Amino acid sequence: MPEQQPRIVILGAGMAGILAGIRLQDLGYQNITLYEKADRVGGTWRENTYPGLTCDVPSHFYTYSFERNPDWTRHLPPGPEIQAYFERTARKYGINELTRFGEECNDASYRDGRWQLQFVSGHTDVADILIAATGVLHQPNYPEIPGAESFQGALFHSARWDHSVGLEGKRIGVIGNGSTGVQIVSALAGKAALLEHYQRTPQWIMPVENGRFSEEERAAFRDPEVLAKAMNVDEYMAAVEAYTQSITDIESEASQAMAQACRDNLEQSVTDPVLRERLRPDHLPLCKRLIFSPDYYQAIQHPQARLVSNGIRAIEANGIRTVDGELHELDVIVYATGFHADAFMRPMSITGRDGVQLSEFWQERPKAYLAVTMPGFPNLFMLNGPNGPVGNFSLIDIAEHQWGYIERLIARLDAGECDAIEPSMHAMETFEEERVEAAKQTVWYRGGCVSWYLDAQGIPSSWPWNFQRFVDCMAEPDWSAFNLPAPAAASHT
């Protein structure tokens, strides 16, 4: 083992960055710094504070495996409680003391066997090991709508919610009908004088109950054995496996059952046949990221709610004008238009070995070997990187599996067996070929829809196999896929 510990830098103090910081400390590493561009931890749960914000993963599974939370109030965790959980966990495990807040990395270059880091503030650092925990959905996508700058009311993105704007009795337009738009509409129906939901394409919605945990239940959950029994991990993981199988095999029993549940939800929940047909998607269920909601169909049928299916021509001073010529007068416009899902570490400039640019390596599409590492970028490891599992299950669970894999890579470095670790180009290309072919068999590709899962070439970017294959791949690296150069004589400085 090298006499001096490696210098490890983690970019991002959201869910994945906190995880990496905790686990590295568990392993005895001390020369660690997290850099966070914001003023506190939390990532997407810090950024998103819109009304109705809820995670669609069952509460007790949206926690670190080593830090369960008995205090969730709902069966699906509310956004503010998730943020509080991450802040509490960061304090408990000393992550705040390791973090430099207000520091955004804008350049990372691999030179002389180390990562040279530059920050917007002018600060610089070096790292032997660089962990990218920058998140998947963090660069808001603003639609290009003519006249937006002329609107005289309040206009903002859902991830930049303006809480100074009162909503009671206002005329509110919500543009976008993914999970965010659905949650906002569900939360505001009945509170706004008028709530218009601008829908480009309908989405299938899976019914779900979101009950409350009683005080007695929450008290009982403080006993780990009671909580473990209530979680029923085996049943949950079976459901996750069934979900991933339903995506990869349209003809499977699981896929048919989930699709039928979505269709039944629409048929049984929307009484007006005209509105029902306007809400009926023209693609297969599961083709887009499935939306779970206990009450959207009820919300959109509220007397003060209105579904707008006509396209938007422009935003004007007093509201939105649709392509049919109608002016919809509004006081507030919310962009629930999601994020640039292909951003990952970008817009940061990243230069790997021999001057290779990440922008060039990702010219066709973002890609990484098993979503964790890339050839030409030694000792750079990603959590929730390109092509990993992204869907209706816990990204915390995904990150923990990925971290177990990364730990094994770091251990080879720390043992002095090599100076650098990166996958071979052959391993990367082989994996990418297999991934693309598998992706073309999924419902994301065959289901007849356009979604943020698709890259610029129309290929689904998410993990195209079942969940168990991901778990198996993360259990132990295939060392034949890696370049492991012999260590040089120089020590860390």
pLDDT tens digits in sequence order for the chain, 493 residues long: 345 899 999 999 999 999 999 999 999 999 999 999 999 999 999 999 999 999 999 999 999 999 999 999 999 999 999 999 999 999 999 999 999 999 999 999 999 999 999 999 999 999 999 999 998 766 889 999 999 999 999 999 999 999 999 999 999 999 999 999 999 999 999 999 999 999 999 999 999 999 999 999 999 999 999 999 999 999 999 999 888 889 999 999 999 999 999 999 999 999 999 999 999 999 999 999 899 999 999 999 999 999 999 999 999 999 999 999 999 999 999 999 987 766 668 688 999 999 999 999 999 999 999 999 999 999 999 999 999 987 767 999 999 999 999 999 999 999 999 999 999 999 999 999 999 999 999 999 999 998 878 888 899 999 999 999 999 999 999 999 998 887 765 444 3
φ, ψ at 234 (rounded to 5°): -60, -45
433 contacts 425 by C-beta, under 8 angstroms: no
Helix (H/G/I), strand (E/B), else coil: 310: coil
Handedness of CA 285, 289, 295, 297 (dihedral sign): negative
17 contacts 137 by C-beta, under 8 angstroms: no
Longest dimension (CA), the chain: 75
First-to-last alpha carbon distance for the chain, in angstroms, is 15
Please state, in angstroms and rounded to a whole number, the distance separating the CA atoms of residues 148 and 133. 33
94 contacts 88 by C-beta, under 8 angstroms: no
Strand order across the beta sheet in which 380-382 lies: 99-101, 32-36, 8-11, 129-132, 380-382
Tokens of 37: 């561009």
Helix (H/G/I), strand (E/B), else coil: 38: coil
Domain annotation for the chain: domains and CATH numbers: 8-139+340-483 (3.50.50.60), 148-335 (3.50.50.60)
φ, ψ at 92 (rounded to 5°): -60, -40
Half-sphere exposure of 431 (CA within 13 A, CB side): 24
Cis peptide upstream of residue 347 (ω within 30 degrees of 0): yes
Q: CA dist 79 to 74, 241, 482, Å?
A: 11, 26, 39
Angle at 133 between CA 130 and CA 137, to 5 degrees: 145
What's the whole-model pTM score? 0.95
